[in-house]
């Protein structure tokens, strides 16, 4: 790693609203903290399945709290995340697999678009409450993020390839290896060992541990 810069990996999935908050906060901190921020697109569905985790909203009281929490967090972080009353049905009825494979394909071919592309997926799903599963909508997101039609089309063709599928599986497996059980999973490599932080509300603790 770059001398003195702490590598910080953010494992995220665009279906996860808390991942968006962590993503935007870390994007801001990387200009202030001495960190080397690495985006690691992974598949939340795979992590939930492997660890036996359940969506938090399956507990009604927790679901009620989450709706309020999200509103407060979005306001605090100034991220245009809008929770609708049926936000949880919205999540449960959507698979992010195709979107995350598309993001992975871009990460492999044109990583300079990874940040704007991921942001546009969150914008579309969590701010505009639009679909992110259909090819035409994925292409619309890519266009919004500044990708050429040619690049997007190529990435769309790559999503069914073993290379992309395996890369997403490997990244997800890596998150699991660090102890992730949900998203976002933030891993700071400090003092010769990885430190896992779960969620978007542990960033002060992350900063404290890495001496920021």
- Which residue among 16, 19, 96, 118 is the active-site one? 16
Active site residue 16: yes
Helix (H, G, I), strand (E, B) or coil at 12: strand
Query: Which domains are assigned to the chain?
Result: 7-210 (3.40.30.10)
Contact criterion met (CB below 8 Å) for 95 and 13: no
Supply 102's token pair. 């598309």
Cβ-Cβ contacts under 8 Å for 66 (sequence gap 6 or more): 56, 57
For 135-187, write each residue's pLDDT tens digit.
Answer: 999 999 999 999 999 999 999 999 999 999 999 999 999 999 999 999 999 99
Question: How many C-beta neighbours within 10 Å does residue 146 have?
Answer: 12
What is the distance between the alpha carbons of residues 202 and 26, in angstroms, rounded to a whole number?
11
Give the per-residue pLDDT at 1: 46
What is the distance between the alpha carbons of residues 27 and 1, in angstroms, rounded to a whole number?
19
Give the per-residue pLDDT at 87: 80
Q: Which residues of the chain have pLDDT under 50?
A: 1
Question: How many C-beta neighbours within 10 Å does residue 77 have?
Answer: 15
Give the per-residue pLDDT at 2: 53
Residue 13, judged by CB atoms within 10 A of its CB (0-12, 13-18, 19+), counts as: buried
């Amino acid at each position: 790693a770059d001398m003195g810069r702490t590598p910080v990996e953010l494992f995220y999935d665009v279906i996860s609203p808390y991942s968006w908050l962590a993503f935007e906060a870390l994007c801001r901190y990387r200009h202030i903290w001495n960190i080397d921020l690495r985006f690691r697109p992974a598949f939340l569905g795979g992590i939930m399945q492997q660890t036996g985790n359940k969506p938090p909203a399956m507990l009604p009281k927790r679901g009620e709290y989450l709706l309020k929490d999200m509103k407060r967090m979005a306001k605090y972080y100034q991220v245009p995340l809008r929770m609708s009353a049926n936000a949880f049905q919205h999540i449960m009825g959507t698979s992010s697999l195709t979107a995350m494979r598309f993001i992975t394909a871009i990460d492999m071919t044109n990583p300079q678009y990874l940040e704007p592309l991921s942001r546009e997926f969150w914008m579309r799903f969590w701010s505009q409450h639009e679909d992110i599963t259909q090819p035409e909508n994925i292409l619309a997101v890519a266009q919004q993020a500044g990708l050429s039609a040619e690049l997007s089309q190529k990435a769309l063709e790559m999503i069914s390839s073993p290379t992309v599928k395996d890369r997403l599986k490997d990244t997800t497996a890596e998150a699991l290896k660090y102890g992730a059980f949900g998203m976002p999973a933030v891993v700071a490599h400090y003092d010769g060992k990885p430190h896992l932080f779960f969620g978007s509300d542990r960033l002060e603790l992350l900063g404290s541990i890495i001496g920021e």
